[in-house]
Amino acid sequence: MHTQSRIPKLHDTTFDGALLWFSEMQCSRLLFHPEDDPADIINNSDSKRTFSDVEVIELRFLLNELEENIGHEKVIEAAYPIFMTACGQQLDA
At residue 56, the pLDDT reads 96
At residue 92, the pLDDT reads 66
- Listed by start position, the domains of the chain span 15-86
At residue 86, the pLDDT reads 83
Q: At what angle do helices 72-86 and 53-70 cross, to 10 degrees?
A: 120
pTM: 0.88
* Weakly modelled stretches of the chain, pLDDT under 50: none
